[in-house]
A and B are shown apart, each in its own frame.
Chain A
C-alpha cells in the first residue's frame, strides 16, 4: 500500500499569515494515464470532510483562491496564502492513483 506522510502534525498560524502543509507518498502518484491523482480535504471541527483540491492543483467549486495545491511524483504541498479563522480544522491528503486508497495522517491547523 502507498503510505502518505503529512507534516507538520500541527500548524499554529496567525490570521493573515500563510500556511503550508507537506504530503509525501511512498511511491510515485503519476498514473499510467499521465495524470497525478492527489487530493486535499478539509475537515472542520464536527463536520464531514470536504474536498478542496483534486489532481494536485485543481480547486473545487466554491473553494477560496487562497488555497492552492502543487507538487509532482511523491512530493506535494497545500498552501493557504492568508489564513482566516474559518480555515481551522484538519487537512488530509489522499492518493487515488493506486488501490487501496490511502490518506495522510492529517495536519491540524489552528489559530494562534
Chain B
C-alpha cells in the first residue's frame, strides 16, 4: 500500500523559512519523479515543483511563483522528499501535498498534506 506522510508545516512569519518532509512507502521511491502540490485555504490545486529520479538526472523544475525561493531535494536512502521554503510570503499559506508522477503522466497517490501558515 502506497503511503505518503508529509510533515514540517507550521506558523512562520513573512520572510521566514521552513522545510517540509515527505516520507514515502509502498513503491520504489528512488525511481519516482516526485511533485509538491499546494492548496491555499478554500482554493484550488496548484503545482509547486517536481524533482526527477537520480537515474533521470535528479533535476528540478518549479512553478513561477516559487522559483528562486523554494528548493526540492530527495534522500533516496530514507525514501524522503524535501521542500526547503525560503523568503516565505503570505500567499504561500497552503496545505502542501507530495505526490509521485506516474507513467500515465498523472498524480495518483496523495498524502494527507501539511499546513503552512505564513502570517505576522
A residues apposed to B, CB below 8 Å: 31, 35, 37, 39, 41, 48-51, 54-55, 58, 60, 90, 92, 94, 96-97, 99-106
Contact = CB atoms under 8 A, between A and B. Distances in A.
Contacts of A102: 47
A101 B44 contact: no
A35 to B, nearest CB: 8
B56 to A, nearest CB: 14
Interface string B84-120: 0000000000000100001011111011110000000
Given A100-B61, A103-B45, A104-B44, A48 B106 contact: no
B108 A106 contact: no
**Ranked 7 nearest A-B pairs via Cβ:** A96-B105, A37-B105, A101-B47, A48-B110, A39-B106, A103-B45, A54-B106
A90 B43 CA distance: 10
B75 interface: no
Contact of B46 (A48, A60, A97, A103): A103
Contacts of B106: 37, 39, 51, 54-55, 94, 96
Contacts, number: 58
B47 A48 contact: no
12 contacts: A51-B107, A54-B104, A54-B108, A55-B104, A58-B104, A90-B44, A92-B45, A96-B104, A100-B47, A101-B35, A102-B47, A103-B44
